[in-house]
């Protein structure tokens, strides 16, 4: 018999699922994210997993987690600290205990709190014991997730292991009830995923409903939560992560410029995601090729760009390091090669599944000689779509390589996305030259300084390019001193010209503020959340997020100089900070963190408040 | 492909650029250049339908001297560049010029993978058993004990056998010849072009400055017939100035038999370029115990890489009508009013 439950309506809430990597945490999170989307909330997610595929069971370093913040208003981050933590084992509790808000709700799978597992997780005592103090500050709900799963499947003829694998859907049933969510979206997912395996479908459905129903009947929770829908701009929405957005953006750009894509890559976390996605979308004229190494990946893409296709490659730090020489060949031959770097925590192998913004200076300056190219950085999961389109537009218009500095965090995190109308994206021109009259391989367009792109095979335009320096316009190889000076300057000027062709920066927040926060990439979300939090206390702060890192937007200097104080925030020890100080000769304050995680909003707020204090003192 | 049905006649000179070659006088790269231009004239396609991609080295200067499309890339990487080009523009005839350093040392990994991938490329490996451009260091094909700039006491490494490497890598077309055999070289180049798939042409090329005479032991006009064997599909494996020697099946290797010229015994094997055992045994022959094989050592048919790439794209197009709007709007969507 179900009792009338008290419903607690809240504005925003952060939930985290944590357990062994084999517990299906990411799937659970994704499904919960989907129901959140359909409930009309704004949301942001943060999947976080170990680099081991199946780390030993029950260990703290094997804990995989998925955090989601959802709200009845605009939000920008997956939340600093969860109000609700769902733990599948003691190790998950151990790792996350420190970060749950005091007074927060902790749901644990009681079955897993055995002596052996407690010991593996490093608990001296069982935190679930009534007289144990560990969880005194929290509201703890013990649910025998494993036992209940097995019980609800007792009638079914299937293996014990298969039954156990359903237990994350029991947890999903529980949280669905807790947040007043309908089960349909999860049911639809199960039907599409296991349509051909009726037994597994039935089992998961049973378990899902069992989870939901026990909450109803057993009064596990005294209250339910309800987060009303957010007031998003009208339109059709879907849930998008950075990996899909990046790939879809490339497909959209290819359609607009009417060129096939050759995407070549060598597997590396977290960049492989793009290769996986594109390999399954060949129908959009995509040749997705797994090469023998990153050097082959970048040179194959370059060969395709030379031929007249969109040559694209993607990697992470270690791979980018291998690609440097070939990128310089693209700079020298002035070909539209596109290189994605999904930055991860370095140096060397570092922390492959964790995020960082450590490759900015390398992308700008990490090539021999005076080598300049375009550098872009998406600021959110959905912005990955637009940055892909921008990369194709600029690379082909200016005949230059483009590095897109994306981030591991952006690839995996998801948010609601108002599906864009593809008709609104302007058509692009490949501009292939076909006229042999007056053709010279290094003759430049007056406005862009780009040389002509020739589809290899075109009659009458035969020519040879390469890494050797060549004479301006004719392209004949030469070691003439003045010519080399001229060509070096022309190549540089060409990238600088791009500044006339990119949007100016828009200041967010209070333009009359004394303090300007400057960031790039994924810090957009947490910086915005921090800025708004500080503003809500009546203080004035402004911020910018730079998506075009080379060349920089034309109004950046004016913006920087119009504030009393500039503070740079990034996930490194000061790359953009160094650039801004040296380029604009201004003093800056700096907050940089390299924890492999996004910077917590609370940490940023403290930093902003401190900076505001120092301005006041002056 | 040239679409015109009437015969278009080209001369070797049509494939020559205006740039003056800058190889040392006496360098055999000149001979290969001429052979490639002659082969292209025989092939009969216009120059815009050929692209020559090279790495770095003396040999890799090649594209500048051709009137076709050309890409002088970076050291060791012409193969993946050429693969990307061929996938992008399958109608092109793509030639790769590489050296023993470029193709086997720094680019060795790409060579293995290009050969097994079977992209329709014509790979010309100029083997002078030395680093020419960097002025005479040993290469991975330098003979053991060879004295040079980086091995003043002689090299201590065993050399790589390029043909053996190609066999192991699963190449579908393997030929070996010498820059000094101009006519044979032209024939082999035309056959390499005609082969659909990766053609690997190993060319002994004399470096006049840093390794002069390296191949005299088997290519010198006086002695070559006794030290080379021309392998030809369907023909008996005979050699010698008098054509009085032949190869018979021995214990794990070929035995050499001598006979009266014109009277080839039945035990002399007839070559089959598609037979993996004969191909392996021919490539295993060591000079001077055995003659150096010249000609087309292996030729088998297999789907090319670019064909497979494009046929998968085609199949995907037939199976899922490409509709980007639909794709982007897929999954669970919801309306906000
Ligand atoms: C990355 C890199 N390393 C080294 C060099 C220097 N280098 C140029 S050519 C060459 C060796 C060329 O030998 P090979 O490929 O046999 O060509 P050859 O000159 O003999 O025709 C070397 C080491 C280079 N250009 N790039
Ligand atoms: S150094 Fe040797 S290979 Fe290079 S051009 Fe001179 S002779 Fe030819
Ligand atoms: Mg050499």
Q: What is the pLDDT of residues A388-440, one digit of tens each?
A: 999 999 999 999 999 999 999 999 899 999 999 999 999 999 999 999 999 99
Provide the residues around ligand 3 (an ion) whose CB is within 5 A: B 99-100, 128
d(CA A375, CA A438): 33
> Quick check: B2 pLDDT over 90?
no
**pLDDT value, residue B222:** 93
**Of all residues in chain A, what percent are helix, strand and coil, respectively (each to 5)?**
40, 20, 40
Q: How far is B28 from chain A (nearest CA, A)?
A: 22
Nearest CA to B130 out of B54, B207, B202, B61 is that of B207
How many angstroms separate the CA atoms of B214 and B206, rounded?
7
pTM (predicted TM-score): 0.93
Domains of chain A: 6-226 (3.40.920.10), 238-424 (3.40.50.970), 508-617 (3.40.50.920)
Q: Per residue in A519-561, pLDDT tens?
A: 999 999 999 999 999 999 999 999 999 999 999 999 999 999 9
Number of CB atoms found within 10 A of residue A489's CB: 11
Domain boundaries, chain B: 12-214+303-308
Report the sign of the C-alpha dihedral through residues A208, A210, A215, A220, in that order: negative
Q: Which residues contact A328 (CB under 8 A, 6 or more apart)?
A: A367, A368, A369, A371, A467
Classify the phi-psi angles of B234: left when phi > 0, otherwise alpha if psi is within -120 to 50, otherwise beta: left
Nearest to B88 among A262, A299, A333 (CB): A262
pLDDT band at B95 (very low <50, low <70, confident <90, very high): very high
Note the CATH number of domain B12-214+303-308: 3.40.50.970
- A543 to chain B, minimum CA–CA distance in Å? 29
pLDDT single digits (tens) A262-321: 999 999 999 999 999 999 999 999 999 999 999 999 999 999 999 999 999 999 999 999
pLDDT of residue B332: 80
Interacting residues of A378 by C-beta distance below 8 A, sequence separation 6+:
A242, A245, A246, A384, A386, A387, A404, A406, A410, A521, A547
Please tell me the distance from the alpha carbon of residue B103 to that of residue B96, in angstroms, as a whole number: 10
> What Cα–Cα distance (Å) separates residue A421 from each residue in A242, A259, A378, A425, B326?
18, 20, 20, 8, 11
Query: Does B97 contact A at CB distance below 8 Å?
Result: no
Burial label, B252 (beta-carbon count in 10 A; 0-12, 13-18, 19+): exposed
Name the DSSP letter for residue A464: E
Selection from B69, B57, B66, B21 nearest residue B39 by Cα: B66
Query: Does this complex have an ipTM over 0.95?
Result: yes
Facing residues of A359 across strands? none
Distance CA A522, CA B140 (A): 47
CA B24 to centroid of ligand 2, rounded, Å: 5
How close does chain B come to A234, measured CA to CA in Å? 5
Residue B85 near chain A (CB below 8 Å): yes
Helix (H) or strand (E) holding B297: strand B292-299
Answer yes or no: do B109 and A293 touch at CB < 8 A: yes
CA of A339 to the centre of ligand 1 (A): 26
Give pLDDT, residue B1: 45
Q: What average pLDDT is seen over chain B?
A: 96
Whole-angstrom CA distances from A40 to A226, A230, A414 are: 12, 6, 14
Question: Which residues of chain A make contact with B88, given a CB cutoff of 8 A?
Answer: 260, 262, 287, 303-304, 306-309, 311
Phi, psi dihedrals of residue A162, rounded to the nearest 5°: -65, -40
By the 8 A CB rule, do A324 and A387 touch?
no
Kindly state the tokens that stand for A283. Answer: 């129908």
- Find the helix or strand (DSSP H, E) in which A147 lies: helix A145-152
pLDDT score, position A38? 87
Residue with tokens 């989907």: A34
Q: Please identify which residue in the block is written with the tokens 């070096």.
A: A488
Helix (H) or strand (E) holding A324: helix A317-333
In the reported structure, the alpha carbon of residue B118 is separated from the centroid of ligand 3 by a whole-number distance in angstroms of 24
pLDDT tens digits, B110-163: 999 999 999 999 999 999 999 999 999 999 999 999 999 999 999 999 999 999
Q: Strands (DSSP E) along A571-610, which ranges?
A: 589-592
Q: How far apart are the C-alpha atoms of B103 and A364, rounded to whole Å?
A: 31
Nearest CA in chain A to B17: A463
Q: Are A491 and A334 in contact (CB under 8 A)?
A: yes
The reply to whether residue B331 touches residue A239, judged by beta carbons under 8 angstroms, is yes
The predicted pLDDT at position B7 comes to: 61
- Strands B69-72, A12-20: pairing is unpaired
In terms of Cα–Cα distance, which of A573, A576, A607 is closest to A593? A573
**For residue A234, which residues of chain B lie inside 8 Å, CB to CB?**
336-337
Cis ω for the linkage preceding A458 (within 30 of 0): no
In this prediction, residues B298-311 reach a mean pLDDT of: 98
Helix or strand run (H / E) with residue B218: helix B216-219
Sign of the C-alpha dihedral computed for residues A460, A466, A471 and A476 taken in this order:
negative
């Amino acid at each position: 018999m179900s009792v009338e439950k008290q419903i607690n309506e809240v504005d925003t809430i952060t939930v985290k699922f944590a357990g062994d990597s084999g517990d299906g945490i990411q799937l659970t999170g994704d499904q919960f994210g989907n129901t959140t989307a359909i409930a009309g909330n704004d949301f942001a997610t943060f999947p976080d997993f170990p680099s081991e595929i199946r780390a030993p069971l029950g260990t703290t370093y094997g804990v995989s987690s998925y955090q989601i913040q959802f709200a009845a208003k605009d939000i920008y981050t997956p939340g600093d600290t969860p109000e609700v933590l769902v733990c599948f084992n003691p190790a998950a509790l151990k790792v996350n205990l420190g970060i749950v808000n005091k007074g927060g709700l902790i749901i644990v799978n009681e079955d897993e709190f055995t002596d052996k597992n407690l010991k593996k997780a490093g608990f001296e005592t069982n935190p679930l014991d009534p007289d144990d103090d560990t969880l005194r500050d929290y509201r703890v709900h013990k649910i025998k997730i494993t036992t209940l799963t097995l019980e609800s499947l007792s009638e079914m003829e299937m293996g014990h292991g298969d039954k156990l694998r359903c237990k994350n859907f029991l947890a999903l049933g529980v949280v669905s009830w807790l947040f007043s969510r309908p089960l349909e979206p999860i049911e639809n997912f199960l039907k599409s995923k296991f349509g051909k395996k009726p037994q597994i479908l039935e089992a998961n459905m049973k378990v899902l409903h069992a989870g939901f129903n026990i909450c109803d009947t057993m009064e596990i929770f005294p209250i339910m939560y309800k987060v009303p829908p957010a007031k998003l701009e009208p339109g059709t929405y879907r849930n998008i992560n950075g990996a899909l957005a990046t790939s879809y953006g490339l497909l959209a750009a290819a359609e607009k410029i009417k060129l096939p894509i050759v995407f070549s890559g060598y597997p590396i976390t977290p960049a492989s995601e793009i290769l996986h996605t594109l390999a399954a979308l060949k129908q959009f004229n995509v040749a997705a090729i797994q090469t023998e190494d990153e050097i082959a990946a970048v040179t194959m893409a370059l060969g395709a760009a030379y031929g007249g296709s969109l040559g694209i490659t993607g990697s992470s730090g270690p791979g980018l390091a291998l690609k440097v020489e070939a990128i310089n060949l693209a700079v020298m031959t002035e070909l539209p090669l596109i290189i994605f770097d999904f930055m991860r925590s370095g140096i060397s192998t570092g922390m492959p599944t964790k995020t960082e913004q450590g490759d900015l200076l390398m992308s700008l300056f990490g090539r021999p000689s005076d080598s300049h190219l375009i550098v872009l950085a998406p600021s959110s999961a959905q912005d990955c779509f637009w940055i892909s389109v921008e990369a194709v537009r600029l690379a082909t218009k200016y005949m230059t390589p483009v590095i897109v500095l994306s981030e591991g965090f952006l690839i995996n995190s998801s948010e609601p996305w108002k599906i864009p109308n593809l008709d609104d994206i302007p058509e692009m021109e490949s501009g292939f030259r076909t006229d042999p009259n007056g053709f010279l391989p290094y003759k430049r367009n007056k406005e862009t300084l780009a040389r002509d792109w020739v589809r290899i095979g075109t009659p009458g335009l035969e020519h040879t390019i390469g890494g050797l320096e060549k004479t301006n316009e004719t392209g004949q190889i030469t070691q003439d001193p003045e010519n080399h000076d001229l060509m070096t300057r022309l190549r540089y000027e060409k990238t600088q010209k791009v500044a006339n062709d990119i949007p100016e920066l828009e200041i967010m927040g209070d333009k009359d503020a004394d303090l300007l926060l400057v960031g790039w990439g994924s810090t957009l979300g947490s910086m915005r959340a921090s800025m708004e939090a500080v503003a809500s206390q009546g203080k004035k702060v402004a911020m910018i997020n730079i998506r075009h890192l080379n060349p920089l937007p034309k109004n950046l200097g004016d913006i920087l100089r119009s504030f009393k104080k500039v503070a740079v925030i990034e996930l490194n020890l000061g790359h953009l900070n160094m650039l801004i100080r040296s380029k604009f000769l201004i003093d800056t304050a700096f907050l940089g963190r390299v924890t492999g995680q996004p910077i917590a909003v609370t940490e940023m707020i403290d930093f902003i408040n401190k900076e505001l204090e120092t301005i006041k003192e002056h | 492909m040239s679409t015109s049905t009437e015969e278009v006649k080209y001369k070797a000179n049509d494939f020559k650029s205006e740039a003056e070659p800058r190889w040392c006088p006496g360098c055999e790269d000149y001979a290969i250049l001429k052979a490639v231009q002659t082969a292209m004239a025989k092939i009969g396609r216009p120059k815009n339908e050929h692209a020559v991609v090279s790495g770095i080295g003396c040999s890799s200067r090649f594209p500048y001297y051709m009137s076709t499309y050309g890409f002088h890339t970076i050291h060791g990487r012409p193969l993946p560049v050429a693969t990307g080009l061929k996938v992008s523009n399958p109608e092109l005839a793509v030639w790769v010029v590489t050296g023993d350093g470029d193709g086997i040392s720094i680019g060795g990994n790409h060579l293995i993978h290009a050969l097994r991938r079977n992209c329709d490329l014509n790979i010309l490996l100029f083997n002078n058993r030395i680093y020419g451009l960097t002025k005479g260091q040993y290469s991975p094909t330098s003979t053991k004990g060879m004295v040079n700039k980086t091995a003043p006491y002689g090299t201590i490494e065993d050399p790589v056998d390029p043909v053996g490497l190609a066999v192991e890598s699963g190449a579908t077309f393997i030929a070996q010849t010498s820059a000094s055999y101009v006519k044979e070289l032209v024939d082999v180049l035309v056959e390499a072009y005609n082969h659909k798939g990766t053609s690997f042409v190993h060319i002994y090329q004399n470096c006049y400055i840093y390794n002069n005479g390296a191949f005299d032991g088997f290519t010198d006009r006086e002695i070559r017939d006794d030290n080379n064997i021309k392998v030809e599909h369907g023909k008996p494996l005979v050699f010698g100035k008098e054509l009085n020697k032949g190869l018979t099946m021995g214990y794990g290797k070929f035995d050499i038999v001598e006979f009266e010229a014109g009277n080839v015994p039945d035990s002399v094997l007839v070559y089959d370029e598609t037979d993996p055992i004969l191909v392996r045994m021919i490539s295993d022959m060591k000079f001077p115990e055995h003659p150096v094989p010249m000609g087309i050592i292996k030729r088998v048919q297999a789907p090319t890489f670019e064909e497979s790439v494009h046929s998968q794209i085609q199949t995907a197009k037939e199976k899922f009508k490409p509709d980007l709007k639909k794709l982007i709007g897929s999954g669970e969507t919801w309306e906000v009013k």
